[in-house]
A and B are shown apart, each in its own frame.
Chain A
Amino acid sequence: MVVLRVTAVHKGFGSRQVLRGVSFEARAGQLVGIVGENGAGKTTLLRILSGDLRPDDGHVDLVGARGYCPQYPVLDEELTVRQHLRLFQVAYRLPSPDRALRLIGTLSAAGYLDAPVKVLSGGTRQKLNLVLALMHDPDVVLLDEPYQGFDWETYLRFWDLARELKDRGRTVIIVSHLAHDTERLDVLHHLRDGTLAPPPAAGTA
């Protein structure tokens, strides 16, 4: 089943046209990569998919709940990790924080539950940033450079997590400026000059 359909999406900022007719589809249980150079418009595209930005033209059809992990951690410096989980538990109307705590454990961040964000390292902030996008088990997960700052061990756990989401029928869209994880993806799109190149088979990019 197609859970995400992006049709001829255009977006410009002032006179600069960033996206010039981006179209693609993603199905349930797919790991989709979108790669491109710095400034190619990957983050703009993901912000449109997340509902953060409105496209100038074209449209996005998406089925089910979204989880969006922004490129830079969007957190409250003064609150602890646990307080973040509580706020998002309320936001997502989750009966318990169990899944969030499991994810924190999987990413080896359980030792920081009661630390305020302002004392956390970049990698630990990114772990919390990611958990906030995943804790409600969304149908479509939108991840913008999700493993920035992760150590190797956490990086591998991230891919285990992505695989587990896929196996449960979730759709994971990963934006990256690097194309070195292509063998882990089902589909890889190249964003270039504001459009997506025709998708080659994964692993051939």
Chain B
Amino acid sequence: MSAYLVACRYALLAVAKNRLAAVLLVVFIPLWITVAKTLTTPKTFPFRLRATGTWLRAGGDEITMISGSLNAVSLLVGFLMFSAARRTRAFDRRLTAAGYSRTALVGSKLTTLLAASVLVSAYATAWMLLFWSPLQPFLLGLAVLADCLVYGAMGMCLALFLPGEVEGLVTIIMVSIIDLAPQNPVASTTADKALVELLPSYGSLQTSLAAGFTRQITLSPLLTHSVVWLAVMTVTVLAAFVLRTRTHQPSGRPHDGT
């Protein structure tokens, strides 16, 4: 088995053992989606979809459900990847110093990020579809997947400098709240301000709203915002990994004993 496959298998096994993440997945995501859909008002709100400039009307419960599910998946994948990256920080260094391929290790981490994101986004999208029929379900799933990837990479970034799981979890919760609250067209009147475009979930929320309430295939927010966030954070993580796993080889040449 190649170095990549061995690293991947063990990375996925270890991530699957994260009990808190499993509880968040099984309980928190359905709970958030159910609460958002059943307890918030179904009254429709007019709002301008910033990505396309079109005016839409949608139920407050559906908008809140979209925003809530993005909130839930971002916390979950962000925490999961933070936890995995923090746990293996010193171990990766030892493993690469022993000769393990850094490319294989990096590949296994990116595979774990992708696998966790696909699983969580498919699960959350399936729960939303139980309550609601968006006009473009596949595009909705893609938008949720993009948010998972962005927050997963953010979790890996935070693990570069935050020492413990509590610090990581609290930071991810705060970032996710600050990210999503000002963008929600129901909860906030600032949702149409230009600055919201800089927020990490902007691409996902805009695409989700377009997927829910239009028949227009709107990929530009994902491509111009989510992909940029993902790329910047992934490159940061990779650069830090390369720097941290450097070893200083002694200039070893045989000596004849005297």
Contacts and interface: CB of A to CB of B under 8 A. Distances in A.
Interface of A: 1-3, 5, 27, 48-54, 59-64, 68, 70, 74-79, 83, 86-88, 90-93, 116, 132, 136
B179 to A, nearest CB: 29
Interface of B: 3, 6-7, 10, 13-14, 17, 87-88, 90-91, 93-100, 247-258
A171 B235 CA distance: 41
B91 A75 contact: yes
B90 A74 contact: yes
A63 B95 contact: no
Contacts of A77: 87
Nearest to A60: B250
A68 B13 CA distance: 27
Contact of B251 (A60, A76, A92): A60
B254 A93 contact: no
13 contacts: A5-B255, A49-B250, A52-B248, A62-B250, A63-B253, A68-B97, A83-B13, A87-B7, A88-B95, A91-B98, A91-B99, A93-B99, A116-B17
A79 B247 contact: no
Contacts of B256: 1-2
A78 B14 contact: yes
Nearest to B100: A91
Contacts of B91: 74-76
A63 B14 CA distance: 36
A123 to B, nearest CB: 19
Contact of B10 (A87, A91, A93): A87
A77 B165 CA distance: 14
Contact of A76 (B87, B96, B98, B258): B87
A27 B7 CA distance: 36
Given A51-B97, A78-B87, A91-B96, 15 more contacts: A1-B257, A2-B255, A27-B257, A51-B250, A52-B248, A60-B250, A76-B10, A76-B87, A83-B13, A87-B95, A88-B98, A90-B6, A91-B3, A91-B99, A93-B99
Nearest to B256: A1
A74 B100 CA distance: 15
A67 to B, nearest CB: 9
A64 B255 CA distance: 11
A87 B257 contact: no
Contacts of A60: 250-251
Contacts of B90: 74
Contact of A79 (B14, B250, B258): B14
Contacts of B249: 51
A59 B99 contact: no
Contacts of B98: 88, 91-92, 132, 136
Given A51-B250, A61-B250, A87-B6, A78 B17 contact: yes
Of the candidates A60, A76, A92, A93, the one having the most CB atoms from chain B within 10 angstroms of its own CB is: A76
A61 B3 contact: no
